[in-house]
Each structure stands twice: as structure tokens, then as C-alpha cells.
Structure 1
Amino acid sequence: MQLDRREFAQLILGGMTAASLTSFGLPALAADNAARILQKTDAIRNPQTSFAVDVTLVNYDRGRPKEKTTVTTYSRPTGSQFQTLVHINSPSADRGKILLRNGNSLWLYDPSSKASVRISPRQRLLGNASNGDVVSSNLVGDYRVSLTGTETIADGNKQSRSCHKLRLTQAAQSAPYSAVDFWVDASNSQPVKGMYYTKSGKLIKVAWYRKGKRQMGATRPTEIVIADGFDPNKVTVMSMGNFRAKNIPSSWFSKEWLPNFKA
């Protein structure tokens, strides 16, 4: 499989231009309205119940696949956020390693040393995908949100979509990005696009949500295409499948328990 690097370079540049030209310039609305929009898209991004999902990440450079990682993510809602355990299935060198999010803490367990170390959600897992990207989370729990307008933008298939544009700013230590511009389809609350920034305002990456399929009672995106903010030739594709309800005990989400996990 090859990825057309020119297509995604055009989406980064062309999508930004289209957004600036088609913005309706609506004033920022009340924070509670923005939060409701984000809550609806959170419920589409992740089932709001205990579940598991299989995730495949493929890193491309100039359209050619370079690396591949597969994981299974197990998530359990707690309050407005998730506790999450991510088991790395491949490559073989990393098989058995586990990422654990509990509250604002993110840990990496290595079965070879039987040790858990604190890690950053911003640290890269593969290509443009960070640890925070494979850990289930509700954006509304990690970010302050405002509604900055309505824009028509090109989605990941280069189709025009009328979207709410949200501005997210980091509110929790566990949030992997300092700020995000996030577009949500105004007609169905589907996530469409995200642009992710450092604290200094530099663009880290651009992500498009694609391939909506019926999974666990809702149409959810099953592919996220993530382009590097500095080099559009570098693209990571994250594919999600086999969403399934799973009763996950709270005991899983303690770093002391991780040596007991069996895939």
C-alpha cells in the first residue's frame, strides 16, 4: 500500500486556505454551548462505556510504509474521563509493553524489567502518533473549549463539510497538546479535522478523521490520518477496528497490578 503524499500536502495547505476564506466569522458563543458540541463528538470518538478496540498504526515516509505497530486499548469510564490500558501487540521487540493512564498520570510498563516509569503523553509512540493518541480520552476533560465560528473545510476525502470550529486549550496535565483547533461536522457531530500546537504556537501535526463505520451503536471514524506539521511527506495512519463492550475491573488500572496482565 502506498499513500499519495501530494494529496495530504494539498489537504494541509489547501484546507487551511479554504477555512480562512469561508469562515462566517461568527462571534465566540458561550462556553457551555462549546462544551456540549465537544461532548457530542467525544461520544462518537469513544463509546462512553467500558470497551476495547484494536488499533494499527502505520508510519509512511513519502508514501511508502516504514514502520507498523499494533495495540489493543482497554478503557473504563470514571467520572468524565477514562482509565485506559494499552497493550502493545507488535512489533515483537515491544510486545507486552503497556501504557497506563489513570487520572493525570501516564505510565509505561516494561515486562523485561518489570518496572513502570512515568512518561509524557506527548512522547511519540510511532511516527506522528503520540502516546496520548492511543490512550482513550474525552477532550472535554482535558481541554478548555470555546466555539470560534462555523467554517466550510475540506475533509480527509477532500469533500466540503460545514463545521463548528472549536478552540481547545490545555486544562489538564494529561492533555497531550497545548492547544488544538478542532472541526466538528455541524450536521452530525462527527469529528472532521484537528490541528495541534505547541505551547509556543507551532503546528505539530494535522489529523483527519475518516471511514465512519457502525461500531457499538454509533457511526465512528475508524481511521485517523496524521500528517507532520513540519513535513507533509511524513504521515501516520491510525486504524481502529473491532470495538467491543468489555467489563473491565478497576484493578487493571494500577501500575502495581500491570505484571499480572495477560493479553
Structure 2
Amino acid sequence: MSGLLLASAACMAQGTPDPQEILAASDAVRNPDKPFSLVTNLTEFRDGKQVGEMSLSIYAKSEPSGGQYRNLVRFIAPARDVNKLMLKTGNDLWFFDPSSKASIRMSPQQRLLGQAANGDVVTVNLAKDYRAKLDAQEDVQDGDRQTRKSYKLALAASTPDVTYHKIELWVDTANKRPIKGKFYAESGRLLKTAYYRKYEKQLGTERPTETVIIDGLDPKWVTVMRYSDWAWREVPEAWLQRDYLPRFKPE
């Protein structure tokens, strides 16, 4: 029996919740279960002053096996980046610049804007890439400084190609909403803290429409990601092929 199955059996025997199921439930709160699109606006602040901004159209569809999401990301602002593309399929991430007609493999850890990495803007089911352990049940402050009862999960990467080596995730015990995450490098250094905020009904359930990311060393360096224009939509298989990137035309 695998380690995950043993851990799950132990949880059931003790009457405590299965941490992998908690993680999957929090994924379902963040991510719709059918192909969809949305717009992500990123704003970077230093010492309370806005210093950068970017907007992206994101098209997401799960793998045929029902596993991890595949994403096509189109840059819509600033003007210098319009119609540049990123494609995430499997553990591969490609960047395409229409001016050079070249697609370049990228790291999900590479910064996109402020504290937002490439891997932060694509749709990801954490339960597919991380093994979860229940560290504690505790009260935690959310992004609005309200106290929530939470499961504190320790997530360990199960593949080397993920954005973060280790994550601590706080999930609301009442509704499985993600509250807060801490993201770590392989060295153990805290890279950033994220708060999931402004829950609204989108595509059938209450989902966070804002993520506030705070730098692990400088708390005055903040990046805010806001999500809008949610829509169910078909995402053609062709859009998710690297060879198709030069021919992609936005609708």
C-alpha cells in the first residue's frame, strides 16, 4: 500500500479528516471543473505605491485523464506585451513572442510581475502535485483580519517541476475555502505569503476573486491578483499544442 493510502487509512481509523481530500476540496473551490476562461489583472505595489500592472486572458482545461489543468495565457496589457502567449501543458511551460515567432521553455518559478511567478497565474490543482499532511487544526486570520477555524496542511512536492518545493496551506474547516498559503523554496526560505479574498459566486460556487501576495522578506512589496470575466467556454485542443502557438488568433 502506498504512503498516501496508508495515511488516508490512518485518518479514517482515527476519525480525523483526510488531508488529501481537504486539499482536493480546496482546489475545487478555486477551480471550476469544466473548461473556462477568465481575466487576471496583476498590480504590484512597493511601500503602498503602484509600480507595475499587467492583464492576462487565461483559458483552462483539464487533461483528458481528469488530472492537472492545461492553460493558454494571452497577454492583453501592457501594450508592449499584447498577444504574447504562455502555454502550460503537463509539467512543460512555454513562452511565445509573436515578434520572434519562437517558443521558449520557461520555469514556473520565474517571476512574471512583482511576487507573482509564471506558475501563480495558471490554473493548478495542488492535490495532483503535492502530498498533504494535516499539521494542525487552528484559528488563523484571513485577508480581512477575521479569525477563521482552519485545517493547516503541510504540502510536499511529489514532482520536481512544480512552482514551490513546499507549501503551508490554511483551509476553512466550515467550507474548505483556502484562506492563506505560505510558499517555500527548496532551501526552506519563505518566498511569499498569499491571502485568498473577496469570495463571490462565479461559475456555480463561491470562489476567491482576489489573491494578495506578500514578499517573504519585504512585507511592503505586495502583488494583488484580481480575477474577472469568468465564463464557461470551449477550449480547443489545438490551442493547447505548442506547434499551434504561431497560428493562435484571439477571438
Same fold (TM over 0.5): yes
Aligned counterpart for 2:153 among listed residues 163, 166, 175: 166
1:40 aligns with 2:31: no
Measure, in 1, the Cα distance between the counterparts of 2:34 and 2:175.
21
Aligned counterpart for 1:92 among listed residues 79, 82, 89: 79
> Residue 25 of structure 1 corresponds to which residue in structure 2?
none
TM-fit CA distance, 1:32: 8.4
Offset from partner CA, 1:189-240 (integer Å, 9 cap, x none): 1110000001011000000000000000000000000000010010000000
* Contact preservation (8 Å) 1:104, 1:173: no
> Residue 114 of structure 1 corresponds to which residue in structure 2?
101
Aligned counterpart for 2:131 among listed residues 144, 156, 176: 144
TM-fit CA distance, 1:173: 3.5
* Contact preservation (8 Å) 1:29, 1:147: no
1:233 aligns with 2:215: no
Which structure 2 segments of 5+ residues have no match? 1-9
Amino acid at match of 1:49: K
TM-fit CA distance, 1:257: 0.2
Which structure 1 segments of 5+ residues have no match? 1-27
SS in 2 for 1:52: strand
The two structures have a TM-score, normalised by structure 1, of: 0.87
Coordinate RMSD, CA, aligned: 1.4
1:68 aligns with 2:90: no
Amino acid at match of 1:75: A
TM-fit CA distance, 1:145: 1.2
The two structures have a TM-score, normalised by structure 2, of: 0.91
Q: Which has the higher contact order (CA 8 A, sep 6+)?
A: 1
> Residue 55 of structure 1 corresponds to which residue in structure 2?
40
TM-fit CA distance, 1:144: 1.4
Dislocated runs of 4+, deviation >3 Å: 28-32
Measure, in 2, the Cα distance between the counterparts of 1:98 and 1:173.
24
SS in 2 for 1:176: coil
Measure, in 2, the Cα distance between the counterparts of 1:60 and 1:133.
17
SS in 2 for 1:252: helix
